[in-house]
Chain A
């Protein structure tokens, strides 16, 4: 089966610019996650969707980050405006029953 797809793979922007990431989960997976992984650390959950509803966004910096999953399938994560500390790999994952399947991630560099 096809895995979790993410694009772009790499993005370089200047601070205060905006950026958007896209994720297409494994077909049939109702749960979708966005994680932020800063260099040298483990992934940190930003937001969790169940179908098109938000289950947990307690660690999402809502003043600058937003995410949507309008049709309950693919999802976008947006940062506006970006800060230097947003430089990280943004991982998308999907799951059906507990085990999460991760995409390759988008490496964001904010200069």
Chain B
């Protein structure tokens, strides 16, 4: 079963605008990760936020985590056409060193030039 649920399922914006994607999950986690997948290609790791962190930045990416609401958001600022991809959140609730990820269904982001 899939732990995370991304919202919205699809998002279309203009280049230069900001894009916000949300992820909700059900059980306790060690960390939450965001991945990007371009059409027909493998997943690329974007950012990891640990359960004791509330916000993290990486370049144009900003991730927040609210463990009380079991939710996370990914903000992409000043979007570019190259940001067009599917974005997945993945939770790691395994504990120890197993690093087992459970992925959501993803948000398809389209950035129009």
Contact = CB atoms under 8 A, between A and B. Distances in A.
B42 A100 contact: no
B102 A102 contact: no
Is the contact region of chain A dominated by helix, strand, or loop, or is it mixed?
strand
A100 B101 contact: yes
Contacts of A61: none
A55 B35 CA distance: 23
A97 B99 CA distance: 8
Interface of B: 2, 4, 31, 33, 35, 40-45, 48, 88, 90, 92, 98-106
20 contacts: A40-B105, A41-B2, A42-B2, A42-B88, A42-B103, A42-B104, A43-B88, A44-B2, A48-B98, A50-B98, A56-B98, A98-B48, A98-B99, A100-B43, A100-B45, A100-B99, A101-B45, A102-B44, A104-B42, A107-B40
